């Protein structure tokens, strides 16, 4: 059965914003566009009629989404409803009259499906440790004792009165190490001691010991010291509050009361071990994700890394930086994000919009600023297209390249003035994108961040962006596939749409694209680099001694450079747009050495000849034996046969020179002095 045409309901919200139904209909071909004035109240019956019939419905309102969902649930044959915000993002603006193309683009992008993602269960039984230094920890425990299984750990020194009734344990100690997450914390406590029951004026404690272990589901940190975890605000189940801020302490207590049961946490990162280029044979190559993870969720695990989904907070910096695509973001995947950008920028251009600026923002900080700017300021400019993502730091080079290729004139990232975690990964993404864009003729500040918590400052920053033209012939490609393929595809399309394309763009150190430079004269074709290369960029030939290189597959992990015994390999970061269609190039090839007995080719001719030249007449084992030199020139089979047939005795040769000691040298010096 054919799917029914989509219905699109746009509302002027009591005539507080102009509508352009024609632009929406032009972009969303085949859809039934309906305009309203107050669909949530006076025209609610009209919504009921439109929602009936089973056709998919797009409602251009997010404020009243709960009401529309409730009404639709009462209709037997209502279709699926998708909500999109065109009021705070477009209609409530001083540029509202020119925002028709933006509204149409936002509605078109909302039709892109959102892929499903997996969850990780976190289970908490409510076992809680309150870590404090004074009576405030006791007060917090009193608020929680009827709801959670509470233990108080007092950080020494402390002068606290004993409890009249021991409703919960109170112990002494300092947390030396902490690990884990909601439902599975493990703490190492030094100076641990239990209280004496006979404590009278103040709590006294028994003998202390170090290295005690405490396991709990929730940790409330009121100690006022350094956080127990990196990026502490992002650790599920770890609630830290300033003991000098009673409101913050109360918020932590109230939040802890709700942390019992089983919770579904998104699995933010999809990790494929086989693609990881971390190490080979205990030699470390790529460590980008390890350097960037703010929560410590990533750790080495043999030749690859391991990502703990229980600790991962979803910043996405590992996925943005991963050169092979082993770590890929799942909310949404990179190809799904690019398809949304394609619909957004394509719809904006088709509706007559020009000089689009893509604004990536998150759903907490970014939405609040955009909402405040719309309600109390001038709103977003008509050419600024907001794109909400889970975390701004998840956006990688592929999204930046695709945005410019699809016709955007600039890209901005909205982040907090004081980010909750390090955003070094985003800075590296921008630093990688800038030379590529400049090299392709995209002049000006095409990519940068806006770091503010002030909506007016956001509006001023967006208004100050200089007018810049996008690509003359924007791309229309649809991204499909794994991340590495998506990145390459987006860069090729950017090259095709660039104002002044060139074949090779130099990149900064650490870039995930480039070539290898080999000192051919020093290369012995041992092929250690081939066995170490995790992506197959370096390869050999089974028929003859040869080293090949395919630049399109190189991720600049450095394993070949670190593995090479002759140290003749170096890395050269660059982006060669010809590499995608180029054949692998031959770095070095030689003729094999032919066995002097059977003629079978084996080894490398220059290597065998070099070994013979170094041994002949110089090494004590080969001074007077041509047979021994001939054995080196034989293949493995003939070498064994020759040794057996000729009764080859490896020890029957010229005696090895006597080892000379310091005494020998001193004796000779003394004899020369006497003479």
Q: Average pLDDT of 4-23?
A: 93
How much of the chain exceeds pLDDT 90, in percent? Answer: 77
Closest CA relative to residue 357, chosen from 504, 457, 451, 462: 462
Per-residue pLDDT band for 661 (boundaries 50, 70, 90) equals confident
Give the span between the Cα atoms of 92 and 592, in whole angstroms.
75
Pairing of strands 279-280, 298-301: unpaired
Q: Cα 6 vs. chain centroid, distance in angstroms?
A: 36
- By residue count, the chain amounts to 675
Q: Average pLDDT of 440-463?
A: 96
What is the rounded average pLDDT for all residues in the chain? Answer: 92
DSSP class per residue in 505-548: EE--TT-S-EEEEE-GGG-----HHHHH-SSSSEEE-SSSSEEE
Instruction: Please give the pLDDT value at position 624.
Output: 55
Q: Average pLDDT of 405-427?
A: 96
Instruction: Please give the pLDDT value at position 86.
Output: 97
Instruction: Please give the pLDDT value at position 657.
Output: 67
* Per-residue pLDDT reduced to its tens digit, 556-615: 999 999 999 999 999 999 999 999 888 899 999 988 888 888 888 887 877 787 788 777
Instruction: Please give the pLDDT value at position 5.
Output: 81
Instruction: Please give the pLDDT value at position 628.
Output: 74
Per-residue pLDDT band for 2 (boundaries 50, 70, 90) equals very low
Q: Average pLDDT of 76-83?
A: 90
Pairing of strands 218-221, 238-240: parallel
Give the span between the Cα atoms of 266 and 333, in whole angstroms.
13
Give the span between the Cα atoms of 276 and 461, in whole angstroms.
39
Query: What is the 3-class SS of 222-288, one letter each residue?
Result: CCCCCCCCCCHHHCCCEEECCCCCHHHHHHHHHHHHCCCEEEEEECCEEECHHHCCCEECCEECCCH
Of 89-103, 528-542, 653-667, minimum mean pLDDT range: 653-667
Per-residue pLDDT band for 619 (boundaries 50, 70, 90) equals low
Give the span between the Cα atoms of 570 and 157, in whole angstroms.
56
Indicate the SS3 state at residue 569.
strand
Higher pLDDT, 619 or 305: 305
Q: Average pLDDT of 463-470?
A: 93
Instruction: Please give the pLDDT value at position 1.
Output: 34
Instruction: Please give the pLDDT value at position 648.
Output: 64
pLDDT of 147 > 80? The answer is yes
pLDDT of 302 > 70? The answer is yes
Give the span between the Cα atoms of 279 and 277, in whole angstroms.
6
81-83: strand order across its sheet: 32-36, 7-11, 57-59, 81-83
Under 8 Å CB-to-CB from 610, ≥6 apart: which residues?
none
* Per-residue pLDDT reduced to its tens digit, 518-559: 999 899 898 999 999 999 999 998 888 899 999 999 999 999
Closest CA relative to residue 270, chosen from 361, 332, 323: 332
* Per-residue pLDDT reduced to its tens digit, 202-248: 888 999 999 999 999 999 999 999 999 999 999 999 999 999 999 99
Dihedral angle computed from the Cα positions of residues 301, 302, 304 and 310, in that order, rounded to the nearest 10 degrees = -10
pLDDT of 664 > 60? The answer is yes
Instruction: Please give the pLDDT value at position 156.
Output: 87
Of 380-394, 427-441, 621-635, minimum mean pLDDT range: 621-635
Residue with tokens 């998919």: 56
pLDDT of 160 > 90? The answer is no
Max CA pair span of the chain: 124
pLDDT of 301 > 90? The answer is yes
Closest CA relative to residue 4, chosen from 80, 117, 110: 80
Query: What is the 3-class SS of 294-331, one letter each residue?
Result: CCCCEEEECCEEEECCCCCCCCCHHHHHCCCCCEEECC
Higher pLDDT, 2 or 600: 600
- Do 398 and 486 meet the contact criterion of CB atoms below 8 Å apart? yes
Instruction: Please give the pLDDT value at position 639.
Output: 85
Q: CB-side exposure of 422: number of CA atoms within 13 Å?
A: 14
- Do 136 and 277 meet the contact criterion of CB atoms below 8 Å apart? no
Question: First-to-last CA distance in the chain?
Answer: 113
- Do 551 and 525 meet the contact criterion of CB atoms below 8 Å apart? no
Instruction: Please give the pLDDT value at position 622.
Output: 63
Q: Average pLDDT of 160-175?
A: 90
Dihedral angle computed from the Cα positions of residues 562, 567, 568 and 572, in that order, rounded to the nearest 10 degrees = 40
Closest CA relative to residue 527, chosen from 603, 585, 593: 603
DSSP class per residue in 436-486: HHHHTT--S--EEEEE-S-HHHHHHHHHTSPP----SS-------S-HHHH
Give the span between the Cα atoms of 33 and 30, in whole angstroms.
9
């Amino acid at each position: 059965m054919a799917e029914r045409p989509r219905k699109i309901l746009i509302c002027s919200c009591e005539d507080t914003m102009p509508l352009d139904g024609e632009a929406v209909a032009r972009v969303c071909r085949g859809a039934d566009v309906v305009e309203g004035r107050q669909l949530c109240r006076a025209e609610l019956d009209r919504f009921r009629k439109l929602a009936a019939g089973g056709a998919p419905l797009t409602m251009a309102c997010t404020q009243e989404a709960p009401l529309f969902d409730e009404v639709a649930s009462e209709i037997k044959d209502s279709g699926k409803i998708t909500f999109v915000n065109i009021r705070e993002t477009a209609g409530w603006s001083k540029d509202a009259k020119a925002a028709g193309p933006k509204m149409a683009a936002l509605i078109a992008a909302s039709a892109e499906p959102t892929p499903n993602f997996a969850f990780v269960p976190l289970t908490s039984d409510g076992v809680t440790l309150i870590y404090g230094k004074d009576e405030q920890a006791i007060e917090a425990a009193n608020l929680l004792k009827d709801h959670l299984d509470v233990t108080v750990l007092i950080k020494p020194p402390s002068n606290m009165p004993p409890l009249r009734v021991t409703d919960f344990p109170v112990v002494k100690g300092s947390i030396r190490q902490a690990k884990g997450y909601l439902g599975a914390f493990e703490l190492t406590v030094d100076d641990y001691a239990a209280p004496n029951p006979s404590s009278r004026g103040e709590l006294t404690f028994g003998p202390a010991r170090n290295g005690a272990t405490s396991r709990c589901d929730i940790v409330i940190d009121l100690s006022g010291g350094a956080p127990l975890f990196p990026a502490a605000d992002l650790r599920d189940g770890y609630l830290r509050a300033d003991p000098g801020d009673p409101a913050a302490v109360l918020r932590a207590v109230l939040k802890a009361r709700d942390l019992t049961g089983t919770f579904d946490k998104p699995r933010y990162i999809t990790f494929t071990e086989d693609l990881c280029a971390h190490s080979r044979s205990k030699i470390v190559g790529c460590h980008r994700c390890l350097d960037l993870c703010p929560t410590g969720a990533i750790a080495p695990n043999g030749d690859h890394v391991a990502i703990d989904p229980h600790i991962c907070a979803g910043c996405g910096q590992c996925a943005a930086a991963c050169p092979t695509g082993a770590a890929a973001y799942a909310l949404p995947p990179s190809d799904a994000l690019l398809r949304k950008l394609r619909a957004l920028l394509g719809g904006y251009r088709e509706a007559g919009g020009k000089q689009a600026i893509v604004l990536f923002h998150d759903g907490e900080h970014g939405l609040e600023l955009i909402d405040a700017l719309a309600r109390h300021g001038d709103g977003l400019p008509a050419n600024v297209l907001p794109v909400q993502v889970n975390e701004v730091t998840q956006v990688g080079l592929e999204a930046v390249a695709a945005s410019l290729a699809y016709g955007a004139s600039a890209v901005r990232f909205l982040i907090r003035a004081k980010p909750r975690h390090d955003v070094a990964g985003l800075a590296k993404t921008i630093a990688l994108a800038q030379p590529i864009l400049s090299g392709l003729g995209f002049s000006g500040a095409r990519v940068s961040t806006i770091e503010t918590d002030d909506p007016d400052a956001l509006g001023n920053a967006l208004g100050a962006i200089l007018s810049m033209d996008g690509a003359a012939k924007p791309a229309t490609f649809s991204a499909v596939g794994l991340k590495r393929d998506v990145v390459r595809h987006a860069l090729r399309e950017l090259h095709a749409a660039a104002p002044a394309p060139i074949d090779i763009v130099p990149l900064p150190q650490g870039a995930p694209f480039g070539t290898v430079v080999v000192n051919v004269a020093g290369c012995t074709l041992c092929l250690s680099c081939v066995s170490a290369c995790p992506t197959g960029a370096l390869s050999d030939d089974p028929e003859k001694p040869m080293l090949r290189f395919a630049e399109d597959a190189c991720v600049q992990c450095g394993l070949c450079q670190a593995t090479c015994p002759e140290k003749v390999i170096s890395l050269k970061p660059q982006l060669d747009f010809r590499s995608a269609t180029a054949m692998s190039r031959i770095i070095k090839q030689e003729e094999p050495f032919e066995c002097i007995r059977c003629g079978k080719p084996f080894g490398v001719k220059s290597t065998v000849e070099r070994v013979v030249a170094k041994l002949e007449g110089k090494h004590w084992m080969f001074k007077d034996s041509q047979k021994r030199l001939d054995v080196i020139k034989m293949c493995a089979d003939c070498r064994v046969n020759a040794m057996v047939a000729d009764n080859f005795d490896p020890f029957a040769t010229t005696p090895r020179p006597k080892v000379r000691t310091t005494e020998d040298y001193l004796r000779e010096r003394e004899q020369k002095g006497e003479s």
